[in-house]
Amino acid sequence: MPGQDRRKKKKLWRKRNNFNKGYTPWNNKLQFELGAEADPSNAANIKVSRHEMEIYEATLTQHNDTSVFYTDYNRNYATRCPDGATKLTRGRGDATCYVPASIWGHKHRIRGCLHKCEQPIEIEKCCTGSWGADCDACPSIYNVRLNRPCSGHGICNDTIDGNGQCSCQENFTGYACEQCMDKKKYGRNCDKDCQCVHGTCENGIQGDGSCDCDSGYNGTWCDQELEACKNKICPKNSKCKDVFGWVMCTCDQWYKRVYISINDTGSDLVNGTDVTTVGSNETEVKNSHECVPIDVCTESSYKRCHDNASCTTVGPGKVNCSCLTGYHGDGYVCDPIDPCQVDNGGCDSNRSRCRYAGPGEHTCECLRGYEMDLQLQTCVMIDVCSINASYCSEYATCSVIGPLQFDCTCNEGYGGDGISCYNNIADIIEDLNNFGDNKVKGKMNYASRLVSEHYYKELRNNGPFTLFIPTDGGFRTVLGRQSFEEFVADADTAKQVLRQHILVGEWTLDKLAEANDVYTLQGIPANIQAKTKHGDLFYRYKLPGSVGQRASKTTVLKENIIAANGVVHVIGKMLTKTPEVKGDPKRSMLDLIKAEEKYSRLQSLIEKAGMTNHVKATNITMFTPENSAWDSLPENALDHFTSPEGVNSLRQILLNHIFDGVIEAAELIDLDRIKSQADVEIAVNVTEKGQIVLNKNISITQTDIPAMKWSLPSYNICTSTWTYQLTSPKSM
């Protein structure tokens, strides 16, 4: 019953849930919802006296403020869990997640870090014997503290989803199972038979089976006839009865004796006259009595109806009981109507919660995250973006996605978690030149032009990449006696040099120092070294085999500049490495193959297979195996391929190395698979160190060698792969 206490119970459950927060559309859902719902300050709103609390231990996984890619280190380390939660991770968190990123419509998966928080959550559950959203007590004739729903003689449809109705046991009936089904039964279990022969039994759950005998009968079971009553005439509504050995007239059941004075000696009421007196006028007066019906509705000792019911007398000892407005039941038991128990009281369950305000009355209270619009007279969602506008980056758009939930989305061309938004690598170079600090401002002209003319699209749309780029003075190592204009005009050389300074993946210097050797986008290894000098920590970026010992390494001047699609490090000078194969967009692919001794086996096999014209075709990409790859084949394998029986297999093998279209390395890393002209899908993978491999074991040693509308990557092939090709020529 609303307002009455229930016994408090508690259960402890342990359940783990993972929640993503930050990069998903429900950006701050848990920051507000999870953190607040479990906050003890809200305990006043929980009817713990009539509820059972299930305590859940949930795991909140936060992605925001943690990713090296998306946010700076200071915020990453300072990530806080919601109030009341315990942080399980330390430092930058666990680097075990990937974050989706969209740069100018291009989808990327960026490795990030996450923090884990643990927080108990209280979930309401009705105690046994309570039902509905408000956990009202089930019907009963007993005090609610006794916890005997349905008067102990039925099963209540309890739980928070129940309707509170009683299903009575076989012998019982009534709203609260408070009546015996058989009116001839009595006792707590309605299992005792009334034995009255000539009388009325005190029946029902609270009856004791005693008999009220009819006129002229006596005995425990009213089975003894009184001889003395045969000649005795009793007044109306009374009966002859033996009272302690005296035979007298007493009122019938449900009647009471009322004394009166009778002046008319002829009245029927003279029968049973007790005393004769003389009045002041010496008139004889008879003092007598009469039996009148007892008003069982008003006399408390005979009360049948519930306190919250109206009572109407319909006969001696008979009443009609009807619950008052605002109450429901059978009149003998009446409970307050709680409108909130059915259909949320008519309140919009998505926006408001029904609150019990008295029998049959309720109010609609806006849920957290909503407020009452007085003009519309309905609950509307709070515009949290207007309240938390400064929470999002100035380069992000705030969107309300739910009650007290908002999402920060970086604007087009920017990437990040919305709290921090970063420009892409290509535009960051321009920003550094125009708006950077004294180390870089006005000193990145060559870098800006090199990127904008030869790698702008790749460094804006693709990634993630890590770019090592020098200030203007650092270009002298690659210019020599050339002017910058001459250098940048040679597109092939400029691109290859730039790719030697691009790593695949986002690499901060501390990660690079741990990884030692990593691979550039050109396919060659690079090395980062950390050294301490005069108490200061210096990083050196080194390309093995660079031209000239002095040019082989350089100091990092400005590190860990976060971009939407990677990281930028400004270095002291550009490093060079002579390309193993110099491209020439004016020559055919076959001409480039003929010019390199390490491709002599490939050239011979192309001619043996009769595919010279095929290799001269335009708009294709060919992965060219070096001589060492062919030499690693089983003995006599090449003889088989060049024989009449094996030439078809050779053609299939060569076709399996040719792909339609120009596929450059920057685009290749974003592809999962590519299909060869032999109609075979080849898996593309990037190792943890940034090396591009095909089918998990074929490493690319040099990328993007340009020919006339072709691309010519060079790579080595494992022997096991070629052994497989002998049995299945279509597999690369």
pLDDT in tens, 445-491: 999 999 999 999 889 888 889 999 999 999 988 888 889 999 999 88
Interacting residues of 286 by C-beta distance below 8 A, sequence separation 6+? 261, 262, 263, 265, 269, 270, 273, 276
In this structure, are strands 51-62 and 18-21 parallel, antiparallel, or unpaired? parallel
CATH 2.30.180.10 intervals, the chain: 424-571, 589-727
- E strand residue ranges, 66-198: 86-87, 94-103, 106-126, 130-131, 136-137, 154-156, 166-168, 172-173, 179-180, 185-186, 192-193
Q: Which CATH superfamily is domain 589-727 in?
A: FAS1 domain (2.30.180.10)
- E strand residue ranges, 2-105: 9-12, 18-21, 51-62, 86-87, 94-103
Mean per-residue pLDDT of the chain: 76
pLDDT in tens, 674-725: 898 888 888 888 888 888 888 877 767 665 554 433 344 444 332 222 222 2
pLDDT in tens, 362-399: 999 999 899 999 888 899 999 999 887 778 888 899 99
Question: Is 113 within 8 Å of 508 (Cβ atoms)?
Answer: no
Q: What is the pLDDT of residue 336?
A: 94
CA torsion, points 203, 204, 205, 208, in degrees to nearest 10? -10
Secondary structure in 3-state letters for 710-732 = EECCEECCCHHHHHHHHHCCCCC
Containing 652, the helix (H) or strand (E) segment is: helix 647-655
What's the whole-number mean pLDDT along residues 511-538?
A: 76
Q: What is the pLDDT of residue 527?
A: 78
Local confidence band at 105 (pLDDT 50, 70, 90 cut-offs): low
Residue 7, CB-side half-sphere exposure with 13 Å CA sphere:
10
Cβ of 646: how many Cβ atoms within 10 Å?
A: 18
Check: CATH 2.30.180.10 for 424-571? Answer: yes
Give the range among 138-142, 177-181, 302-306, 371-375 with minimum mean pLDDT.
Answer: 302-306
